[in-house]
Structure 1
Amino acid sequence: MDEMPKKGSSSVPKWHSSSVTTRIVNNLNPICQATQQLTLKGKFVIIHNQSKSIPGKLISVQIYSGTDVDPETGKGKLSEKAYFKQVFNMLLKKVARQLVEVVRHKAGYGVEEETEQDENRRTRENSVEVFHQTPRALVELRKEELDRLRGNGMGERKEWDRIYDYDCYNDLGDADKGPEHHRPVLGGSRLFPYPRRGRTGRKHSAEGPSSESRPQPMNFSIYVPSDERFGPTKLKELKSNCVNAMVHFLPPKAEFLPRRKSANFQSFQELLDMFSSNRSQRMEGWMRDYLKKLIPLDYIKEITIPNKELPIPQIISDIPTSEQIRNTEFNTTINHRTEARRMDTFSGKINANGVCAYASRTLLFLRSDGMLKPLTIELSLPGPSPHLEIHRVFLPAKQGTQAALWQLAKTHVLANDAVYHQLISHWLCTHAVVEPFIIATKRRLSVMHPIHRLLNPHFKDTMHINALARLILINSGGILERILFPGEICMQISCDLYKEWRFNEQGLPADLLKRGMAVKDPDMKNPTGIQLLLLDYPYATDGLEIWVAIKEWVQDFCSFFYKDNEAIEGDVELQSWWSEIRTQGHGDKHNDTWWDQMTSLSNLVEALTTLIWIASAKHASINYGQYAYSAYPPNRPTLCRKFVPLEGTVEFGEFLKDPDKFFLKMLPNRFEMSLAVALVDILSRHTCDEVYLGCQQSPGWIDNEVIQNRFADFKQELKEIQSRIMQRNRDPKLKNRRGPGNIEYTLLFPDAASSSASTSGISGRGIPNSISI
Structure 2
Amino acid sequence: MGIFPPCSSSETLGKLLGTVCGKIRDEPATEETKIKGTIVLMKKNVMDVTDLGASLLDRFYEVFGKGVSLQLISAVHGDPDKGNRGKLGKEAYLEDWVPKLTSLSAQDHATFNIEFPWDESFGVPGAFIIRNQHRNQFYLKTVTLEDVPEHGQLHFVCNSWIYPQHRYKYDRVFFTNKAYLPSDTPEPLRIYREEELTNLRGNSSGMLKEWDRVYDYAYYNDLGSPEKGKEFARPVIGGSKEYPYPRRGRTGRRPNKKDPDSESRLFLLSLNIYVPRDEKFSQVKFSDFIGYALKSMGQIMVPEIKSIFDKTINEFDTFQDVLNLYEGGIKLPEGHTLDKIREYIPGELLKELIRSDGEQLLKLPMPDVIKENKTAWRTDEEFGREMLAGVNPVLVRRLQEFPPTSKLDPQVYGNQNSTITREHIEKYMNGLTVDEAIEKHKLFILDHHDALMTFLRRINTTTTKTYASRTILLLQDDGTLKPIAIELSLPHEEGDLHGPISEVFTPSEHGAENCIWQLAKAYAAVNDSGYHQLICHWLNTHAVIEPFIIATNRQLSVLHPIYKLLQPHFRDTMHINAQARQILINAGGVLERTVFPARYAMEMSSAVYKNWNFTEQGLPEDLIKRGMVVQDPSQPHGLKLVIEDYPYAVDGLEIWYAIEAWVKEYSRFYYPTDDMVQGDTELQKWWTEVREEGHGDLKDEQWWPKMQTRDELINACTIIIWVASALHAAVNFGQYAYAGYLPNRPTVSRRFLPKPGTSEFEELESNPELAFLKTITAQLQTVIGVSLIEILSRHSTDEIYLGQRDTPDWTADKEPKEAFKQFSAALVEIETRILERNNDKGLRNRTGPVNVPYTFLYPNTSDYSRQSGLNVRGIPNSISI
State the secondary structure of the residue aligned to 1:391: strand
| 2:608 partner letter | L
Over residues 131-159 of structure 1, what are the superposed CA-to-partner deviations in whole Å (9 max), with x where a residue is unaligned?
Answer: 01100100000000000000000100001
Distance 1:472 1:458 in 2: 24
State the secondary structure of the residue aligned to 1:485: coil
Q: Which residue of 2 aligns with 1:5?
A: none
Structure 2: give runs of 5+ residues left out of the alignment.
1-10, 23-33, 41-54, 103-108, 113-131, 146-152, 333-337, 357-361, 388-392, 397-445
State the secondary structure of the residue aligned to 2:486: strand
Moved more, 733-742 or 412-421: 733-742
Q: Which residue of 1 aligns with 2:871?
A: 763
Say whether the 8 Å CA contact 1:173–1:475 is kept in structure 2.
Answer: yes
The answer to whether residue 833 in structure 2 is matched with residue 724 in structure 1 is yes
Say whether the 8 Å CA contact 2:17–2:98 is kept in structure 1.
Answer: no
State the secondary structure of the residue aligned to 2:261: strand
| Residue of 103, 120, 137 corresponding to 2:143 | 103
Say whether the 8 Å CA contact 1:483–1:675 is kept in structure 2.
Answer: yes
Q: Which residue of 1 aligns with 2:617?
A: 506
Say whether the 8 Å CA contact 1:559–1:601 is kept in structure 2.
Answer: yes
| 1:506 partner letter | Q
Say whether the 8 Å CA contact 1:249–1:677 is kept in structure 2.
Answer: no
Over residues 18-41 of structure 1, what are the superposed CA-to-partner deviations in whole Å (9 max), with x where a residue is unaligned?
Answer: xxxxxxxx99822267999x9546
Q: Which residue of 2 aligns with 1:245?
A: 296
| 2:849 partner letter | P
| Residue of 52, 61, 64 corresponding to 2:70 | 61
Q: What is the deviation of 1:661?
A: 1.4
Q: 1:485 to 1:304 in 2, by over 3 A?
A: closer
Over residues 634-658 of structure 1, what are the superposed CA-to-partner deviations in whole Å (9 max), with x where a residue is unaligned?
Answer: 1000011121112233322232222
Q: 1:442 to 1:261 in 2, by over 3 A?
A: farther
| 1:70 partner letter | D
The answer to whether residue 211 in structure 2 is matched with residue 190 in structure 1 is no
| 2:453 partner letter | D
Q: 1:114 to 1:183 in 2, by over 3 A?
A: closer
Over residues 336-359 of structure 1, what are the superposed CA-to-partner deviations in whole Å (9 max), with x where a residue is unaligned?
Answer: 221322111111111111221100
Q: What is the deviation of 1:332?
A: 5.9
Task: Among all aligned residue pairs of Structure 1 and Structure 2, give the percentage whose two residues are the same amino acid.
Answer: 42
Q: Which residue of 2 aligns with 1:356?
A: 465
Alignment of 1:505-544 (within 5 A): 505-521=616-632, 523=633, 526-544=635-653
The answer to whether residue 269 in structure 2 is matched with residue 160 in structure 1 is no
Q: Which residue of 2 aligns with 1:392?
A: 503
Over residues 118-138 of structure 1, what are the superposed CA-to-partner deviations in whole Å (9 max), with x where a residue is unaligned?
Answer: 552212141101101100100
Structure 1: give runs of 5+ residues left out of the alignment.
1-25, 292-299
Distance 1:104 1:314 in 2: 46
Distance 1:428 1:580 in 2: 20
Say whether the 8 Å CA contact 1:59–1:85 is kept in structure 2.
Answer: no
| Residue of 579, 592, 598 corresponding to 1:481 | 592
| Residue of 841, 845, 855 corresponding to 1:736 | 845
Alignment of 1:13-28 (within 5 A): none
Q: Which residue of 1 aligns with 2:260?
A: 209
Alignment of 1:466-477 (within 5 A): 466-477=577-588
State the secondary structure of the residue aligned to 2:579: helix
| Residue of 164, 187, 191 corresponding to 1:115 | 164
| Residue of 370, 386, 392 corresponding to 1:334 | 386
Q: What is the deviation of 1:514?
A: 1.0
Distance 2:98 2:455 in 1: 62
Distance 2:838 2:99 in 1: 57
State the secondary structure of the residue aligned to 1:241: helix
Q: Which residue of 2 aligns with 1:315?
A: 369
Q: 1:218 to 1:90 in 2, by over 3 A?
A: farther
Q: What is the deviation of 1:162?
A: 0.7
Alignment of 1:454-469 (within 5 A): 454-469=565-580
State the secondary structure of the residue aligned to 2:141: helix
Say whether the 8 Å CA contact 2:795–2:868 is kept in structure 1.
Answer: yes
State the secondary structure of the residue aligned to 2:77: strand
Over residues 237-285 of structure 1, what are the superposed CA-to-partner deviations in whole Å (9 max), with x where a residue is unaligned?
Answer: 101101112213544444679xx99521111111000013344899965
Over residues 454-487 of structure 1, what are the superposed CA-to-partner deviations in whole Å (9 max), with x where a residue is unaligned?
Answer: 0011000000000000010000000010001111
Alignment of 1:234-383 (within 5 A): 234-254=285-305, 262-279=313-330, 285=342, 310-319=364-373, 331=383, 333-335=385-387, 336=393, 337-338=395-396, 339-342=446-449, 343-383=452-492
Q: Which residue of 2 aligns with 1:11?
A: none
Q: CA RMSD in A?
A: 3.4
Q: Indicate the structure (1 or 2) with the bigger Cα radius of gyration.
A: 2
Distance 2:73 2:762 in 1: 84
Alignment of 1:85-104 (within 5 A): 88=98, 100-103=140-143
Say whether the 8 Å CA contact 1:737–1:745 is kept in structure 2.
Answer: yes
Distance 1:654 1:596 in 2: 57
Distance 1:544 1:87 in 2: 50
TM-score (norm 2): 0.77
Say whether the 8 Å CA contact 2:268–2:583 is kept in structure 1.
Answer: yes
Q: What is the deviation of 1:712?
A: 0.8
Moved more, 278-287 or 392-401: 278-287
Q: 1:568 to 1:673 in 2, by over 3 A?
A: same
Moved more, 567-576 or 76-85: 76-85
Distance 2:564 2:345 in 1: 45
State the secondary structure of the residue aligned to 2:753: coil
Over residues 378-398 of structure 1, what are the superposed CA-to-partner deviations in whole Å (9 max), with x where a residue is unaligned?
Answer: 000011233352111101011
Over residues 570-590 of structure 1, what are the superposed CA-to-partner deviations in whole Å (9 max), with x where a residue is unaligned?
Answer: 000000000000000000001
TM-score (norm 1): 0.88
Distance 1:448 1:76 in 2: 16
Distance 2:636 2:366 in 1: 40
Distance 2:648 2:79 in 1: 57
Distance 1:539 1:601 in 2: 29
Distance 2:571 2:380 in 1: 39
Distance 1:403 1:677 in 2: 27
| Residue of 443, 452, 473 corresponding to 2:563 | 452
Q: What is the deviation of 1:450?
A: 0.3
State the secondary structure of the residue aligned to 1:764: coil
| 1:341 partner letter | H
Paired residues in the alignment total 732
Q: 1:182 to 1:530 in 2, by over 3 A?
A: same
Q: Which residue of 2 aligns with 1:12?
A: none
| 1:693 partner letter | L
Distance 2:686 2:826 in 1: 30
Distance 1:87 1:617 in 2: 42
Q: Which residue of 2 aligns with 1:294?
A: none
State the secondary structure of the residue aligned to 1:159: coil
Distance 1:425 1:195 in 2: 15
Say whether the 8 Å CA contact 1:753–1:759 is kept in structure 2.
Answer: no
The answer to whether residue 805 in structure 2 is matched with residue 696 in structure 1 is yes
Q: Which residue of 2 aligns with 1:295?
A: none
Q: 1:535 to 1:757 in 2, by over 3 A?
A: farther
State the secondary structure of the residue aligned to 1:374: strand
State the secondary structure of the residue aligned to 1:740: coil
Q: 1:330 to 1:186 in 2, by over 3 A?
A: same
| 2:807 partner letter | S
